[in-house]
Amino acid sequence: MPARRVLVASSVVAMVLVLCTPTIASAANIEFRATLNGRDATTIDKNDPLRLRPDRLVRVNLSVTNHGTEPVTIRSGNLNGRVMGLTFYSFETRIDLAVPADSTESRSFGFELVGLKGQATGLLPAHLDLLDNHRHVLAGRAFPTRVAGSITSVYGLFGLLVALITALLLAGALIRLATHRLPLNRWQRGVRFGVPGIGIGLFLTFSLSAFRVLLPKPSNWLAIVIVCGVGMFVFGYITPTPVTYDLGDYDDDDEYPGERGWPTAQAWEDSVPTSAGTAQPG
C-alpha cells in the first residue's frame, strides 16, 4: 500500500509540474541566438539531437539582443535536461554579459560536462537558459539531446526503481485475482490494476528514452502513461466479481473456508442432485 501511494503521488506531482511550468521561460525584451558545437539551436530536432558526451566540452556562441529601454546583465548560462518536471543533469557557466538597451552583444563560452555519465543516458529534452543576477530565467530555448551516459546513471536507476515498484504492485494485483481476493466493487478493482498501469507507462517512458527510441517530451510520456493506466484500469474493471462465502457460525479461531476456495455448506447442498431415495446432505 505505501509503495502504491508513493507511485501515484509522484506521478501526480510530475504531471502537475509539467503542466504548470512553461516549456520556455523568456523575458519580453530579450531574445538570443545560440550555436552549440557549431549547430544552430533552432535546427536541432528529434531526428538529429545534440550529442552530449561525458567530460566533453559543449562550445556555445551566444548573441543576445535587448529590445528594452533598460540594460540587462546575463550572469550565467545553464544547460539542463528535464523529464516529467525532474532535472537529471544541469551544467552552469558564468558569462557576465552586459547588454545595453536596444543593442546586441555576443559571447563565446563552454559547458564542461563533468559527471554526465552518472547523471543521465539516452534521449532527453534539454534547455539552454540565460540567468540574471538573481538566477531568474531571462530567456531560454528547448531542444533534444542524446546523452552517451550509463544505464547505471541516476536516470537509469530511477527507471529501474519505477520498474521494481510496478512489478511488486502488479504481482500483488495478479495474486489477488488468482486467489479471488479482489474487492467486490468494480471501480476498486479497476484502481487496483490502474495504479500499476501508470507504473508500466512510466517504465516504458524511461526505457524507450534510455535506449534512444523515444524523446520523453510531455506530449509523448503523458500519452503513454494515460493509455497504460486506462488500459489496466479497464482490465481490472472487467475482471470477474470474486465469489463470496457465508461464514455461518465460525468462531474467530476457526479457519475461514473461503480463504482456500472451499464452498460453504449451503453451496455444497445446492450442488448435490436430488432424486428419489437419495439422501440429502445434512
**Which pLDDT score is estimated for 252?**
47
Residue with cell 507511485: 7
**C-alpha angle 49-127-86 in degrees, rounded to nearest 5:** 105
Rounded mean pLDDT of the chain? 83
How far is the CA of 265 from the CAs of 20, 160, 245, 262, 279, in angstroms?
A: 59, 48, 10, 9, 15
Rg (CA), the chain: 29
Q: Tell me the Ramachandran region of residue 236: left when phi exceeds 0, alpha when psi lies from -120 to 50, beta otherwise.
A: alpha
Q: Residue 204 is which amino acid? A: L
**Which pLDDT score is estimated for 206?**
94
Other Cβ atoms less than 10 A from the Cβ of 16: the count is: 11
State in words which class domain 23-147 has: mainly beta
- For residue 189, the SS3 value is helix
Alpha-carbon gap, residue 12 to 130, rounded angstroms: 29
pLDDT in tens, 163-205: 999 999 999 999 999 999 999 999 999 999 999 999 999 999 9
pLDDT in tens, 126-141: 999 999 999 899 999 9
Q: Residue 252 is which amino acid? A: D
Give the pLDDT band of residue 85 (cuts 50, 70, 90): confident
The packing angle between helices 2-20 and 218-237, to 10°, is 140
pLDDT in tens, 238-277: 999 887 655 454 454 444 444 444 455 555 455 555 554 4
Alpha-carbon gap, residue 211 to 209, rounded angstroms: 5
Torsion of CA 134, 138, 143, 144, to 10 degrees: 10
pTM of the model: 0.72
Other Cβ atoms less than 10 A from the Cβ of 99: the count is: 22
**Strand boundaries in the chain, DSSP class E:** 30-36, 39-40, 50-52, 57-66, 72-83, 86-99, 103-112, 122-131, 137-147
Alpha-carbon gap, residue 36 to 50, rounded angstroms: 8
% pLDDT > 70, the chain? 76
Alpha-carbon gap, residue 149 to 155, rounded angstroms: 9
Torsion of CA 235, 163, 14, 94, to 10 degrees: -160
Answer whether 84's CB lies under 8 Å from 14's CB: yes
Strand order across the 57-66 sheet: 39-40, 30-36, 57-66, 103-112
- For residue 215, the SS3 value is coil
pLDDT in tens, 63-83: 999 998 899 999 999 999 999
Residue 22 has pLDDT above 60, yes or no: no
Alpha-carbon gap, residue 147 to 99, rounded angstroms: 33
